[in-house]
Amino acid sequence: MSKMQKQVEKDEQMELMETGPENRQEIVDAVRIYKKHQSDRLAALKGELEWKEKIKKLIKESDLRPLKDGKIKFTFGKVTVEVTPRDELITIKEKAPKKTKSKKKNR
């Protein structure tokens, strides 16, 4: 029995060197891509939180009054901004251009 086998407790998987499933390279590549997306997402989240704080600060400075339901809401052009203070939820909606209904001609 090798030294490594003696160190491994019963019912424990031994570390396998250079072995694994046949698609191990594909798995490793997928893990690397996942980790990159994960780090990108975390960086984006940091930026999102910074801008959210800036928006909350600007709204507080503007002295907007909340509606009866507690939300702060205003419209500027085609953009509606809505802030729910208790949830710290910020929603931005852009109005889509109105679609005109075309009448079909009967033949």
Cα-based distances in Å from 50 to 45, 62, 77, 79, 90: 9, 19, 25, 21, 13
Task: Look at residue 50 in the predicted model and tell me its pLDDT.
Answer: 92
Q: pLDDT tens for residues 10-69?
A: 667 666 666 677 888 898 899 999 999 999 999 999 999 999 889 889 988 998 888 998
Distance, CA of 15 to CA of 19 (rounded, Å): 9
Q: pLDDT tens for residues 71-97?
A: 898 898 989 888 887 777 787 777 776
Task: Look at residue 27 in the predicted model and tell me its pLDDT.
Answer: 87
Task: Look at residue 33 in the predicted model and tell me its pLDDT.
Answer: 94
pTM of the model: 0.54
